[in-house]
A and B are shown apart, each in its own frame.
Chain A
Amino acid sequence: GQSLEQPSEVTAVEGAIVQINCTYQTSGFYGLSWYQQHDGGAPTFLSYNALDGLEETGRFSSFLSRSDSYGYLLLQELQMKDSASYFCAVRDGGYNKLIFGAGTRLAVHP
């Protein structure tokens, strides 16, 4: 079956850099996605990696190594508003059906 592992919590200070890791086991791999969810809010799409390497979008970057079944989300110049839960996800075949990791709760402190 499909499974994803990510740390449950990460703490950092404003202005710092934090990396949230995700390892996955899948029967077929299409790509690794990252979603952000603020408390009480909806998940929002952050990034997607189908190929090995780094994808950069502003302060956020995402990395994938398919040979290691591993990826990470890198958040730079942390701001208080980055405090949220971050989910990695992989497709479970079908029609863009996603399996989500348990989520990493990021707390950014002054």
Chain B
Amino acid sequence: DAMVIQNPRYQVTQFGKPVTLSCSQTLNHNVMYWYQQKSSQAPKLLFHYYDKDFNNEADTPDNFQSRRPNTSFCFLDIRSPGLGDAAMYLCATSRPTDSTDTQYFGPGTRLTVL
């Protein structure tokens, strides 16, 4: 009954080697988000999609890109990972008509940069 799925759960990459993280959802929600979370910190929003409309946070580095080919899938591309990009990456979804602002998170992908 998984609703928000992230693959892989653990990803190891080398410094500077591009990496793609994937997220899929079975909830048919309009909005999808990507967060970066470092140890003992709050999730930090990188960007989000409302349907195909892309919304980048002002402080998200250009190194981070995203694609949403359809409602169900969303990808996070890190073009040249640095050591500081090692973190947990969380995907989440929401429904704009939800009066409680609930976001549904996937289990996350833990990225290690060597």
Contact = CB atoms under 8 A, between A and B. Distances in A.
Interface string A29-62: 0110100000011111100101000000000000
Interface stretch (B12-20, B39-47, B60-68, B74-82): B39-47
Contacts, number: 65
B102 A48 contact: yes
Interface residues on B, range: 20 to 34
Contacts of A97: 33, 45, 48, 55
Interface residues of A, number: 25
Contact of A45 (B31, B41, B42, B104): B104
Given A33-B102, A45-B102, A105-B40, 8 more contacts: A33-B100, A48-B101, A50-B100, A85-B40, A87-B43, A89-B101, A96-B98, A98-B103
Interface of A: 30-31, 33, 40-45, 48, 50, 85, 87, 89, 91, 94-98, 100-103, 105
